């Protein structure tokens, strides 16, 4: 009998039978509040009726039409619609299937567009598991161990992780930008740098928002030295952080935006967006893939955009995020092992710290597993798996937030 690869280790023993809104029902009929959303994917909730209807209709019309041979209407319509929500000027789009593939595409494009090789990433970064994306990933040594040699030319600089650095946000920002300048002075010339890849909220690395001044500092350096600023919005995009894009509050405009996860409510779809002057440097045939921009996934993405707008999900993420955060801070107040509660919108983390100040992964994972036993699905991330993160579907309501908070209080 065949079995799953040990690489598919589960955080919980739940076998999902069906999903509905913010809930997962398992095969034994137990109902769970899903505060993982398939790792930030099912933002419109599980099986939103509009997404289901759009996908069903598309399945019966055209499932696949590969874009080098035939274009199809859902892809063209999605391109138009994304133009309405993307930063101004980032009006050339390219589609693949997953976050990692989109990161690969962005890395290739940055090298093609600048003729330079190096990429800067930040400590704790997560950009995916394909070889190029894994080479840009520094969170979790397990991802890179034993698969080298990795793609060369990746330089790692500190992220302004204020809590772990023991600094204020301003001090951490100054420190991280100073270290970056030091890298440029000693390790890599900025003139050899194709791009800086940044997550507007460090995701797998611990749910640490990038301060606005940090993103502004990166923008200033990218302009000064002529390299590209790539915002990896795979986890932060599509309303997750309470604004449509995670980088929005900083006021900067990235050169390339990468999006996936929340884009198509669970169908595999990802995209990169860049201005024409950059995207035109990717010559035909140098990027692509058989399934990229699949018609059913594009139809689901169009329905996702409608639902986000009609149901005010970006605003709901901001509102429910505030409510959840306030509740989590209250819980943390009586649990000294939770050293920090942080995040943006509905992308919130609870960092567990041992009395000696080191990251406490064991306690975080015990709390996450206890929460699952009480009917609340959660995930961990962070330097030692010591951050319990909460990323519910963006349709979550106040009552569901309060239920999750009382389950969390019982679990910790």
Binding site for ligand PLP (CB under 6 A): 39, 98-100, 103, 126-128, 199, 203-204, 232, 234-235, 260
CB of 316 to ligand PLP, least distance (A): 21
CB of 131 to ligand PLP, least distance (A): 12
Q: Nearer Cβ to ligand PLP, position 204 or 255?
A: 204
Helix (H, G, I), strand (E, B) or coil at 118: strand
> Residue 319 carries which DSSP code?
H
Closest-by-Cβ residue to ligand PLP is: 99
Residue bearing tokens 């040594």: 141
Q: Do 298 and 75 contact (CB within 8 A), yes or no?
A: yes
Question: Of the two residues 201 and 371, which places its CB atom closer to ligand PLP in the complex?
Answer: 201
Nearer to ligand PLP, 103 or 407 (CB): 103
Q: How is residue 1 written in tokens?
A: 């009998």
CB of 170 to ligand PLP, least distance (A): 25
Token output for 63:
């499932």
Nearest distance, CB of residue 361 and ligand PLP, angstroms: 18
Residue number, 32 or 126, with CB nearest to ligand PLP: 126
* Smaller CB separation from ligand PLP, 199 or 340: 199
Task: Provide the β-strand partners of residue 349.
Answer: 342, 389
Can you say whether the dihedral through the CA atoms of 108, 112, 118, 123 is positive or negative?
A: negative
| Cβ closest to ligand PLP, residue 54 vs residue 96 | 96
We find the least distance from the C-beta atom of residue 185 to ligand PLP, in angstroms, to be 28
CA–CA dist 400, 364 (Å, integer): 22
Record the tokens describing residue 345, joined without a space. 């919108």
Q: HSE-up of 400 (CA within 13 Å, CB side)?
A: 24
CB of 264 to ligand PLP, least distance (A): 11
C-beta closer to ligand PLP: residue 190 or 393: 393
What are the φ/ψ torsions at residue 120 (nearest 5 degrees)?
Answer: -100, 135
Q: Which residues of 360-393 are buried (b: 16+ CB within 10 A; e: fewer)?
A: bbebbbebbbbbbeebbbbbbbbbbbbbbbbbbb
At residue 147, the 3 state secondary structure works out as coil
Judged by CB, which is closer to ligand PLP: 230, or 299? Answer: 230
Round the CA-based radius of gyration of the chain to a whole number and report it: 21
Are 197 and 228 within 8 A, CB to CB?
no
Residue 133 Cβ vs ligand PLP, minimum distance, rounded to whole Å: 6
Secondary structure class of 233 (helix, strand, coil): coil
Q: Count Cβ atoms below 10 Å from residue 334 Cβ, excluding itself.
A: 9
* Minimum CB–partner distance for residue 318 and ligand PLP (Å): 20
In the complex with ligand PLP, which residue's Cβ is closer, 287 or 353? 287
Nearer Cβ to ligand PLP (232/340): 232
The first and second tokens of residue 208, run together, are 């640490």
Buried b (16+ CB within 10 A) or exposed e, 143-165: beeeeeeebebbbbbbbbbbbbe
Nearest of 41, 42, 47 to residue 235 by alpha carbon? 41
3-class SS of residue 238: coil
Residue 401 CB, nearest approach to ligand PLP (Å)? 23
CB of 237 to ligand PLP, least distance (A): 9
Nearer to ligand PLP, 143 or 167 (CB): 143
- What's 50's DSSP letter? H
| Closest approach of ligand PLP to the CB of residue 128, in Å | 4
Per this entry, what is the length of the chain? 412
């Amino acid at each position: 009998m065949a079995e799953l690869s040990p690489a598919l280790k589960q955080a919980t023993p739940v076998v999902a039978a069906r999903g509905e809104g913010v809930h997962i029902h398992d095969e034994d009929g137990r109902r769970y509040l899903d505060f993982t959303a398939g790792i930030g994917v099912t933002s419109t909730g599980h099986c939103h009726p509009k997404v289901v209807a759009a996908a069903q209709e598309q399945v019966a019309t055209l499932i696949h039409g590969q874009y080098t041979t035939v274009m199809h209407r859902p892809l063209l319509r999605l391109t138009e619609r994304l133009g309405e929500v993307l930063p101004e000027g980032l009006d050339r789009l390219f589609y693949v299937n997953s976050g990692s593939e989109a990161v690969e595409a962005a890395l290739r494009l940055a090298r093609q567009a600048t003729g330079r090789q190096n990429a800067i990433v930040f400590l704790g970064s997560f950009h995916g598991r394909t070889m190029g994306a894994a080479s840009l990933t520094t969170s979790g040594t397990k991802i890179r161990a034993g698969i080298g040699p990795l793609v060369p030319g990746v330089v790692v600089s500190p992220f302004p992780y204020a809590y772990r650095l023991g600094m204020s946000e301003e001090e951490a920002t100054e420190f991280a930008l100073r270290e970056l300048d030091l890298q440029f002075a000693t390790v890599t010339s900025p003139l050899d740098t194709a791009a800086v890849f940044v997550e507007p909220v460090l995701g797998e690395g611990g749910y640490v928002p990038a301060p606005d001044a940090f993103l502004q500092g990166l923008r200033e350096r990218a302009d000064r030295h002529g390299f590209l600023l790539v915002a990896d919005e795979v986890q932060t995009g599509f309303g997750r952080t309470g604004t449509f894009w995670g980088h929005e509050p900083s006021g900067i405009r990235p050169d390339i935006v990468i999006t996936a996860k929340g884009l198509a409510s669970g169908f595999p779809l990802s995209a990169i967006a860049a201005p024409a002057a950059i995207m035109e440097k990717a010559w035909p045939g140098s990027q692509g893939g058989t399934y990229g921009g699949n018609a059913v996934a594009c139809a689901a993405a169009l329905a996702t955009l409608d639902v986000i707008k009609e149901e005010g999900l970006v605003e709901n993420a901001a509102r429910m995020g505030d409510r959840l955060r306030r509740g989590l801070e209250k819980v943390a107040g009586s649990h000294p092992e939770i050293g920090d509660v942080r995040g943006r919108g509905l992308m919130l983390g609870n960092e567990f710290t041992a009395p000696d100040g080191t990251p406490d992964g064991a306690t975080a994972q015990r709390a996450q597993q206890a929460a699952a036993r009480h009917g609340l699905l959660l995930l961990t991330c962070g330097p030692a798996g010591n951050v319990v993160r909460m990323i519910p579907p963006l349709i979550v309501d106040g009552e569901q937030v309060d239920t999750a908070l009382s389950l969390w209080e019982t679990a910790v």
